[in-house]
Homo-oligomer: A and B are copies of this chain.
Amino acid sequence: MDNKEIQTQRMKGYFIQAAKELIKGEGLKSVSTRSVAERAGYSYATLYNYFKDLNDLIFECVKDFQAECEVFVNSKTKKITNGKEKIKAIISAYVHYFIEYPGTFELFFLERMRGIGNKKTTSELIYTFLDRLCEEQWQYCINENIIYTEKVQKIRTQLRFTIMGMLLFYENRLQPDNYNDFATLLNNQIDNIIE
């Protein structure tokens, strides 16, 4: 039964890997039972031996993408000195990950979560992701007396929603309608909130 578990996880992994590639490459709309299964090297019905339904499979990708995004953010911000500037850089990298892979943006924020299985935990994972990426730096700011503890909480909440709103308008409604305007607006907003 231990072997069984290993094999099951391996099989799930094949489908998840295939789904991730499709999401990053072609976007969420290209993910279907058939397309995933074909890429994984199995029949579309086999998928249902390992996942409740397609939605279930799709949301299993969230953790993987978060890990990937975290690596991306770290690689882009490693050299920056601790404090506000690093936080700004982290946020910037976070946003750019979703812009580079719009499919992950759709998955994280747009795709409807049907079913109540791990809905709660997954949505919480998404909700708190940016906060977690910055956690260490906020602690640094508090410890170094750069910002008051209470103010930090305010800023974090403010950031969570602002970044989300900007991303949504840019990715889904093309507002602002070009990348440069978006980037400068983003920097302005971050600066305004963090000061």
Contacts and interface: CB of A to CB of B under 8 A. Distances in A.
Nearest to A166: B161
B154 A109 contact: no
A119 B173 CA distance: 8
Interface stretch (A72-80, A120-128, A134-142): A120-128
Interface in A90-136: 109-110, 112-113, 119-120, 123-124, 126-127
B161 A165 contact: yes
Contacts of A112: 29, 172
Chain A interface mostly: helix
B173 A113 contact: yes
Contacts of A160: 165, 169
Kindly report how many copies of this chain are found in the complex they form together: 2
A54 to B, nearest CB: 15
A71 interface: no
A195 to B, nearest CB: 13
Nearest to A125: B173
Contact of A173 (B123, B168, B175): B123
A189 B177 CA distance: 27
Interface string A167-192: 01100111101000000010001001
Given A120-B177, A127-B175, A158-B162, 19 more contacts: A109-B168, A109-B172, A109-B173, A113-B173, A119-B174, A123-B173, A127-B173, A157-B185, A158-B192, A160-B169, A161-B162, A161-B164, A161-B166, A161-B169, A161-B189, A162-B165, A164-B164, A164-B165, A164-B168
Contacts of A119: 174
Contact of A174 (B123, B161, B163, B185): B123
A49 B124 CA distance: 45
